[in-house]
Structure 1
Amino acid sequence: MAELEKFAHYLICQATNRAPVSLPRVSEEVVCLGFDPGTESLVEIHIVSDGESFTGNEKLSFFERAWNAAELESPSFSRILDVGESDGMLYYVTEVSDGEFLTDYIQRHGPTEPTLGLALAIELTDSIILLQPHYRLLMGVRLSNLLAIVTEGAYLTLRLIDLGLARRESRRSNEFDLDQPMKEISALLYYILGGRPFLPGQPGQIEGLRRAPDDLKTLLRRTLKPDATDLPDSLESYRRALRQCLSAIEEADRPSGGAKFRSLA
């Protein structure tokens, strides 16, 4: 793509060596920084195939899922601005996500406090719940591709950037395990709190989270053990359990009533 200066009606941003400015996002996509002359704004151009590798039905599947994803209104997802095909290549365009991969963030900053880790896990669970009506997107999402973004208010948030749009649909609805997102979010929470990946079957890992309160460790054991049979019965129940853990920490850190409400008389 080094010779491209324009794609569809978008301009391709180029480095000093005139190569396109590429963005690391999803392994199945070629992603370039672009400029939309119509809105005079920077965008991300995601090229998902050369067209010929997708059959007619697979092309239709891509367009249907991409336009479904464009309906998502949440800062947890990259907002899709356009979907199309140009010179036989399927693509979609998003707003620019100014962040870094979560793994890079944790490597630079180290593990987070339990309150922040739980807040991020709750936010991520909210995002997956938002996907439930869009079952085809839920089946394709990969929680391993997350960007850590620091907002203008200095708040850390996570953005899901891989909804599987560049991959073919291969699973039927009755083959999808709704428990899997809970396990993946718990494994991600362990990583955020501990700074290292969770290794199934290796004892003592959760106990090593010294800053995590006991009720949070209990929830992690419940959801991360290999033969987990007592998982929360829904993502909503799982989110409620995470919120209870967060509330318990906040309550323990709150000053006593006597110290907080002092008489001014």
Structure 2
Amino acid sequence: MAEQALSLSYGQAFVAPERRRHRSSMSVLVPEDAAALGAKGVCALISDSIWRNAIAKQAGDLSVRGFLTDYYSTPAHWEVKDSATRVLRALNSWSHSQSRYIEGGSYVSSMSAIVFRGAEAHLFHMGDTLVFRLRGAEFEQLSRDHVTDLGGYRYPSRALGLDGNLDIDYDRLPLKQGDLFLFTTRAVRGTLMPSDYVQLIRSDVSDLDAACERLAEAAQQRAGARGYDAEQFCFQLVRIDRLPEREPDAPEPVYGSMPVPPELDVGERLDGFEVLAVLSRTAKTRVYRVRDVHGGREMVLRAPSPELSSRNAYLEHFLLQQWIVDRVRSPFIPRRIDIGRPHRYLYYLTEPVNGETLADWARRHPQATLSQRLDIARQLAKAVQALHRRDVLFQQLRPDTILLDPHGRVVLGFFGACHRREDDAMARELAREVGLSEHSAPEYALDTEVGRRSDQYSLASVIYWLLTGRLPYAQPPHELRSHTGLEQMHYRSARLVNPEVPVALDEALKRALDPQRALRFRRLSEFLLALRDPRRASAEEERPALREPANLWQAVAGVLLLLLVLSWLIR
């Protein structure tokens, strides 16, 4: 029997006087997709801003919507803590930066979020929102109050958007069937006692919405009796109905919930796919052309190598490759195919690319025009730019990893060296493991920091080769052994080999290929601009010097001097 999925119920209630601004927001999101539920779990969260904030409602709603949207967009193989922390820090940076443009308000809000995945709950807390757990008769507060007293008023501290650096409380809690989690705001302080919560919730736990309504009514009555009935109250209950269970004799998953496929040959079948051809067998991956026996559609099936079935680090990288295909929306990245039926093994499917490598295309088209080659160069730059927008380093850019379909469209189909962190030793190690080439940036050989500008170097090197058939430096950078070798690298102008290359493009290539990483273009878009219309840029540079302001005034001064001499002669 397959592993049961996590099941929970929830209820909500909100009470706010009309004359007060709505400033709280809450939500529970249960993914409909079983894969997303298993990888990312269920999110329940609450957000609250201060009533003196002119945009309190927007601040509360933004933090909730932003977290839910971005959290479920993170790679499936990332751990819950890593995914949520990155999303919260990015959201905090944006909120903090935008608050300076708001008069009388800010995007500051307290927030508490719990991610329920498997048999565990992951709590993330900032500010003064409240989270409680009711287990049996035990009622316990899980969150900590972070408040500051200023002028007799209590303000949340360590809240989302309050400062450029976010300090997040994190806790990992085991779940039990029947656990109840209560989310509320600081406004409830001074109204209900722990015994009130337990009594009001336990009086009828079959209807969680009704339980939240009882809590809201009781809090409002207590607040009115104490003279501050203008407060708003927000309650959200989440109950764990069923935890995932596994049969005693069921095998442990190799990674996630699926094992690595076995070695396949032509004619064999896997999950309803018949292998038509073995496209690639490497130390890390297997690539097959397959046909769906149910619909007849041909696809490409990519799976980890069977030898990696017990090496989670490599399986994580395989899942990153799947995430790239799934999340990077670009015509230059193969589209992932969802067949709508469950997998028994760890693999993913993409559309087939019927084409050839850039190296093969260049050999077959030695007389290709400059315009044709620049069109390929521009497509290639946009493909790399699409990866960079998702913080992905390609690291394997060379003519034999770039595909061209029959219509001349560039496709990047090899992701064996992709990495998601800049300046990371793991990125360099991964690139060297896959194999450096003459198009690799010098920093890989010298074991220094790598990043987007390293991909920029490889891109420019491939474009230089595409335009000239040669390499920009006499000594390939991947053969460097020390930093002194950088000083001996002298750029060979592309115009010396191919005079058709515009001056502006040659200068752009020279900068993008600078041996010093810091001296290359800051952004890939700057290099892409030089590729779009290099002839126009060159024409502007080669216009007569009279267009320059200094030369223009020199010419005017010369004319005036001539007129002055003529006036003397006439006298």
* Shorter-normalised TM range: 0.7 to 0.9
Q: What corresponds to 2:396 in structure 1?
A: 142
For the pair 1:44 / 2:300, whether they are aligned, the reply is yes
Q: Is the 1:125–1:185 Cα contact (8 Å) retained in structure 2?
A: yes
Q: What corresponds to 1:261 in structure 2?
A: none
Q: Is the 1:22–1:33 Cα contact (8 Å) retained in structure 2?
A: yes
Q: What corresponds to 1:193 in structure 2?
A: 467
In 2, distance between residues paired with 1:190 and 1:168? 23
Please list the CA deviations of residues 166-207 of structure 1 after superposition, one character each: whole Å capped at 9, or x if unmatched. x696x8433342211221111111111122344444664522
Q: What corresponds to 1:211 in structure 2?
A: 500
User: Of 404, 411, 418, which residue of structure 2 is paired with 1:159?
Assistant: 411
Please list the CA deviations of residues 142-176 of structure 1 after superposition, one character each: whole Å capped at 9, or x if unmatched. 2221112222xxxx221101122xx696x843334
Q: Which has the higher contact order (CA 8 A, sep 6+)?
A: 1
Which deviates more, 117-126 or 98-107? Answer: 117-126
Q: What corresponds to 1:174 in structure 2?
A: 423
In 2, distance between residues paired with 1:238 and 1:218? 10
SS at match of 1:34: strand
Q: What corresponds to 1:241 in structure 2?
A: 530
SS at match of 2:334: coil
Structure 1 vs Structure 2 CA RMSD: 3.2
Matches within 5 A, 1:40-119: 40-50=296-306, 52-56=308-312, 58-82=314-338, 90-110=346-366, 112-119=368-375
Which letter does structure 2 place at the counterpart of 1:143?
L
- The 1:3–1:128 alpha-carbon spacing in structure 2 relative to 1, beyond 3 Å, is closer
- The 1:24–1:111 alpha-carbon spacing in structure 2 relative to 1, beyond 3 Å, is farther
- The 1:212–1:168 alpha-carbon spacing in structure 2 relative to 1, beyond 3 Å, is closer
User: Of 421, 435, 458, which residue of structure 2 is paired with 1:184?
Assistant: 458
Which letter does structure 2 place at the counterpart of 1:237?
E
In 2, distance between residues paired with 1:250 and 1:191? 24
Offset of residue 57 of structure 1: 5.7
Q: Is the 1:80–1:94 Cα contact (8 Å) retained in structure 2?
A: yes
Offset of residue 102 of structure 1: 0.7
Which letter does structure 1 place at the counterpart of 2:354?
D
Q: Is the 2:325–2:334 Cα contact (8 Å) retained in structure 1?
A: no
Q: Is the 2:461–2:471 Cα contact (8 Å) retained in structure 1?
A: yes
Q: Is the 2:453–2:517 Cα contact (8 Å) retained in structure 1?
A: no
Q: What corresponds to 1:22 in structure 2?
A: 278
Runs (5+) with no aligned partner, structure 1: 14-20, 252-265
Please list the CA deviations of residues 6-49 of structure 1 after superposition, one character each: whole Å capped at 9, or x if unmatched. 02221112xxxxxxx22259774322221023442111122322
Which letter does structure 1 place at the counterpart of 2:498?
L
Offset of residue 134 of structure 1: 2.5
Which letter does structure 2 place at the counterpart of 1:193?
L
Which deviates more, 178-187 or 140-149? Answer: 140-149
In 1, distance between residues paired with 2:383 and 2:462? 14
- The 1:23–1:112 alpha-carbon spacing in structure 2 relative to 1, beyond 3 Å, is same
| TM-score normalised by L of structure 1 | 0.73
- The 1:3–1:34 alpha-carbon spacing in structure 2 relative to 1, beyond 3 Å, is closer
Which letter does structure 2 place at the counterpart of 1:245?
P
- The 1:52–1:215 alpha-carbon spacing in structure 2 relative to 1, beyond 3 Å, is closer
In 2, distance between residues paired with 1:126 and 1:245? 16
In 2, distance between residues paired with 1:26 and 1:111? 34
Q: Is the 1:30–1:46 Cα contact (8 Å) retained in structure 2?
A: yes
- The 1:118–1:157 alpha-carbon spacing in structure 2 relative to 1, beyond 3 Å, is same
- The 1:25–1:150 alpha-carbon spacing in structure 2 relative to 1, beyond 3 Å, is farther
SS at match of 1:241: helix
Q: What corresponds to 2:273 in structure 1?
A: 10
Q: Is the 1:216–1:245 Cα contact (8 Å) retained in structure 2?
A: yes
**Equivalent pairs: percent with the same residue?**
22
SS at match of 1:22: strand
For the pair 1:230 / 2:519, whether they are aligned, the reply is yes
Offset of residue 91 of structure 1: 2.4
SS at match of 1:216: helix
Q: What corresponds to 1:257 in structure 2?
A: none
Which structure: larger Rg? 2
In 2, distance between residues paired with 1:250 and 1:9? 59
Q: Is the 1:26–1:162 Cα contact (8 Å) retained in structure 2?
A: no
Which letter does structure 1 place at the counterpart of 2:451?
D
In 2, distance between residues paired with 1:220 and 1:66? 32
SS at match of 2:352: coil
In 1, distance between residues paired with 2:385 and 2:421? 19
- The 1:69–1:210 alpha-carbon spacing in structure 2 relative to 1, beyond 3 Å, is same
Q: What corresponds to 2:509 in structure 1?
A: 220
